[in-house]
Structure formats: C-alpha cells, structure tokens
Amino acid sequence: MITINEHYLKLQKSYLFSDIAKRVRAFQKKNPDVNLIKLGIGDVTRGLPGVSIDAFHKAVDEMAEDTTFRGYGPEQGYEFLREAIAVNDFRSRGADISAEEIFVSDGAKCDTGNIQELFTNDIKIAIPDPSYPSYLDTNVMAGRTGDFTDGRYKGVVYLDGVKENGFVPSLPEEHVDLIYLCFPNNPTGSTITREELKAWVDYAKDNKALILFDAAYEAFICDNSLPKSIYEIEGAKEVAIEFRSFSKSAGFTGTRCAYTVVPKECAGYDSNGKKQLIHSLWNRRHCTKFNGVSYPVQRAAEAIYSDSGKAQTKNLVDYYMKNAALVCTTMSKLGYDYVGGKNSPYIWVNGETDSWDFFDMLLNKAGVVCTPGAGFGRCGNGYIRISAFNSYENVKIAMSRLTETLSR
C-alpha cells in the first residue's frame, strides 16, 4: 500500500495565488466583456531589458554550433554570472560575498521552499504574519507544524506585522531556531532599517539561530539609507542566508533566474552540538536535485550587470514605482490607510472590512483584481495588497475605477 505524507492534508485547500486565479477565471467566464485589470499576483508586464534579449539571442546561436554548444553547466551557476552578482550586488555595497557563495537557481520561491529540508523537524520556526505563503506551507509539508486552528498552525511562532509596529515584527519572546524575514516586505511593502536588522542578526547569534532573508524586492529600495542585503550588517554572514531574484528587478518571472547566497561561515549544529557548515549541505543538495539554469538564461541575467543593463533595469523599476506612486496618491485621496509603495512595488491597504469581501467587491464592481490580505496570514485580514506591476495606462484606469467605487 502506498501511504501518503499526511502533513499535506493539513494544508489549506489551495495555494493563495491559484485560488485567486480560479476566482478570476470564474468571474471572467461569467462576464466576458469586462476588461479586468490585474493588480493581484506580482507578475511583471514589461518586456525584458534589451541587453538581456541580445545576450539571450547570442547564447541561443552559440547553442546551435558544435564548437560553442554547452551541455550540462555547473549546478551552482556559471562563473561569469556568479562573479557578476558577487561584485555588483554585494561587494559594491561593502558586503564581502564571493562568487563561490552564490547558488544560481530557477526561482526564489523554490529556494525559500527547499532550504528548510536542511534542518530537523524539531526546530522552532518563526514566520512573519502576514508573509509570502510558501514559507509556511513548505514547513507544513515537511511536518514541522501541528494542525491549523483559528487561522494558525500549531507549533509555529508567528511574528506579527501590524500597524502598531509599522509591519516590522518585533523579536520573538521565546527562543526560535529558524527565522524567515522578507524586506522590502511581501505583502506589506514595509522596509527595515539597519538598526532593526542588526537586532535580528544579534538575536540569531545569541540564540544559535539562522535567518532566511528574502530580498527578492531589494531593487525597489529608493532610500539609500536602507539595507539592500543582510550582509551589509556586521556578523550576518555567520547566521543568515539570503534569497534574491531577477524576476521583479529585470522582468524574469517567465524566464526564471534567481540566486541564493550561503556564506562559507554560515553554520548550523548537529545533534552533538558540533558546528556544521550550511554551504556544503546546500551545495550537496543543489548538486543532487538540480542541474542548473539554462545557459542562455544565465547570459541574459549576466547582461543586466553591464552599464546599459543597469540603466535599463533602473528604467523598469522606475516605471513600476511611478505606478506605485499613483496607487498611493489615489488611496490617500480616498482616505484609506496604507503602507508600502515607497521602496516597494506593493501597497498594503487597510480596507477596514473582511479581505475576501473587499477583494470580491473590487472584482465585481470595479473589475480590478487585488490580493486579499487574509491570504498572507491572520494579521492580513482587513487588508488588501495592490501590486504596481502593470502598465501605467492600466493602473490609471484601475485607480479611476477604484475612485468611482470607493468614494465615500
């Protein structure tokens, strides 16, 4: 008899973004004439930077010739990309990260989901509420939680992100071993200061804990006093793993390329309390379960680090941030309380009503898709998330529809 992993039965019926897509499909089927504007899932809408397209074409041509063809590449990523990442994303900001500490992958979702398998099931995990759903779901699948009651899984330490703390969770009152942090935050768009981040690094050091720092939205930080990487904080290399993505910064959601940084000194402990380096464990896992990102995609990613690549990706980010500013202005005019939208493409709006009701109202009355905050955790109820990823023209239409629907 084939028995199943029953931890899967504890999961909520479907993954948040699949659930929303299903509701949107059903609405569109019933209302084929409504021109829906999607500001829900953070999926980019603009074409890839020209430098990436050129590099992509060139690499595809190389694949056509026996002399330049490439088969399996290094599982960790080609040296040309890893070096460009280390120099441009870290060393340029004073974070001493080397190419060997970078693991190129096909997505931060997979990496943030897979990393937990390096750790035992009896560790205490701390997960922000609200947060990107896959942090929690992958721990549920692994059996690291109890059942779901009252909107929460037993055995998890939830780090509340609420208005009172500016959506930056406070340190846990009890001991935890594995901490998920995401800044600029998905879904709230809040950011963390150096001092606040240092407090987390110090906590991790004092508690022999590990921080999983999701920095997928760092490109949207406009305020240069804010940290883009956790490694800008002294001592973080011993206690933190960082996740980054080309999805939002360079439009790679469909092209797939991301990376994870595991510093050489980052450590966990075995059952005898002996230090074990996480780098070698993750490397072992990566080589066993992953065969690398395709060569043309890695060339396309490398291209964004050229001078023109940097200018083109900045244009992309500026474009979406102009959308975010328009959403913020509209929400202010309508008298809604919100955060985000300044150093983040997400705007977290207090709808002062059940999130799913608000979502349904915007879908049915305004033809605008957002993301209900409750889908990110119990603290998200009452909120909706509006994404700035769409064309400026569409965001303008969406905002005027919202103005009509929500004027009060």
> In the complex, which residues of this chain contact ligand MLT (CB under 6 A)?
41-42, 109, 132, 186
Which CB, 97 or 339, lies closer to ligand MLT?
Answer: 339
Which own/partner pairs from 312-319 qualify as long-range (CB within 8 Å, at least 24 positions apart)? 312/49, 312/50, 312/51, 313/49, 313/219, 313/249, 313/250, 316/44, 316/46, 316/49, 316/249, 316/250, 316/251, 317/219, 317/220, 317/249, 319/46, 319/392
CB 257 within 8 A of CB 301: yes
Give the nearest distance from C-beta 23 to ligand MLT in angstroms.
15
Give the nearest distance from C-beta 216 to ligand MLT in angstroms.
7
- Neighbouring C-beta atoms of residue 23, cutoff 10 Å: 16
Give the nearest distance from C-beta 186 to ligand MLT in angstroms.
5
Give the nearest distance from C-beta 74 to ligand MLT in angstroms.
25
SS3 state of residue 49: coil
Which CB, 80 or 356, lies closer to ligand MLT?
Answer: 356
Which CB, 243 or 305, lies closer to ligand MLT?
Answer: 243
SS3 state of residue 243: strand
Which CB, 159 or 209, lies closer to ligand MLT?
Answer: 159
Which CB, 278 or 313, lies closer to ligand MLT?
Answer: 313
Q: Determine the Cα–Cα distance for residues 152 and 156; give it in Å rounded to an integer.
A: 8
Q: Determine the Cα–Cα distance for residues 285 and 81; give it in Å rounded to an integer.
A: 20
CB 207 within 8 A of CB 175: yes
Element (H, E) at 408: none
Give the nearest distance from C-beta 391 to ligand MLT in angstroms.
17
Give the nearest distance from C-beta 42 to ligand MLT in angstroms.
3
Q: Which residue is nearest to ligand MLT (CB)?
A: 42
Which CB, 298 or 344, lies closer to ligand MLT?
Answer: 344
